[in-house]
Amino acid sequence: MLTFDTQMEDLSSLLREHLVEMRKFAVLLGSDYLKLTDVITTSKSRQLSRKLLKKQLAGLFDSSPNNYHLIALATIFSSLLDIKNKSMKAYANKSK
């Protein structure tokens, strides 16, 4: 069983990687020539990664909804990657 700290490190790394990949995707979309297969592949990959991040966030909020670092990571996720831009109360309420 993974400890809370290990799960937090995993979440932080995955969030960082996802943000870097989203930047690369934005550069790809801004290029003069687009290969549709690259766009589809990258967008599907980013969608799966975002779902995994969301699932990990929910699991960690179940364990410790008042953790400062978790709230900071959730704020980053919510403001940059979550279409619904949920508040921290929404994550905390779902964890109960």
List the domain boundaries for the chain: 54-96
pLDDT at 7 over 90: yes
Tell me the pLDDT tens digit for each residue of 79-92. 888 777 666 566 66
What pLDDT shows up at residue 22?
Answer: 93
Tokens of 86: 């949920």
Tell me the pLDDT tens digit for each residue of 27-60. 999 999 999 999 999 999 999 999 999 999 999 9
How many CA atoms within 13 Å lie on the side-chain side of 64? 10
Distance from chain centroid for Cα 2: 19
What pLDDT shows up at residue 80?
Answer: 86
